[in-house]
Amino acid sequence: MTDPITKYLAYTGGVKRYSSRTQAVYREILDQFARFVEPEEIVASLNTSVLRSYEVWLMDDQGVGARTVGLHLSVLSGFCRWLVAQGALASNPVRTLPRPKVEKRLPVFYREENMDEYFEQTALYGSEEVLRLFSGKPGDKGDVQLYSRVLNRIIISLLYSTGIRRAELISLNRGSYDSSRKVMHVRGKGDKMREIPLTQTICEEILLYLRAIDKMGIEVGGADSPLLVTRAGSRLYPVFVDRAVKEELGAVPEITSRKSPHVLRHTLATELLDDGTDINSIKELLGHSSLAATQVYTHNSIEKLKKVYDSAHPRAAKK
pLDDT computed for residue 104 by the predictor = 64
pLDDT computed for residue 271 by the predictor = 86
Query: What does pLDDT average to over the chain?
Result: 88
pLDDT computed for residue 306 by the predictor = 52
Distance CA 93, CA 79 (A): 11
How many Cα neighbours within 13 Å face the side chain of 244? 28
- Residues 191-227 pLDDT 10s: 889 999 999 999 999 999 999 999 999 998 899 999 9
CATH homologous superfamily, domain 116-255? Intergrase catalytic core (1.10.443.10)
Look at 139 and 74; give whichever has higher pLDDT: 74
Distance CA 265, CA 261 (A): 7
Average pLDDT over residues 177-196: 92
Whether 92 has a pLDDT exceeding 70, the answer reads yes
Whether 106 has a pLDDT exceeding 70, the answer reads no
Alpha helix ranges (H) inside 217-260: 238-249
pLDDT computed for residue 259 by the predictor = 93
To 5 degrees, how large is the angle CA 145–CA 151–CA 156? 130
Dihedral sign of CA atoms 153, 158, 164, 170 in order? negative
Whether 85 has a pLDDT exceeding 70, the answer reads yes
Element of type H or E holding 187: strand 183-187
- Residues 25-62 pLDDT 10s: 999 999 999 999 987 889 999 999 999 999 999 998 88
Q: Is 185 helix (H, G, I), strand (E, B) or coil?
A: strand
Q: Is 186 helix (H, G, I), strand (E, B) or coil?
A: strand
The model's pTM: 0.70
Element of type H or E holding 95: none
Share of the chain above pLDDT 70, in %: 90
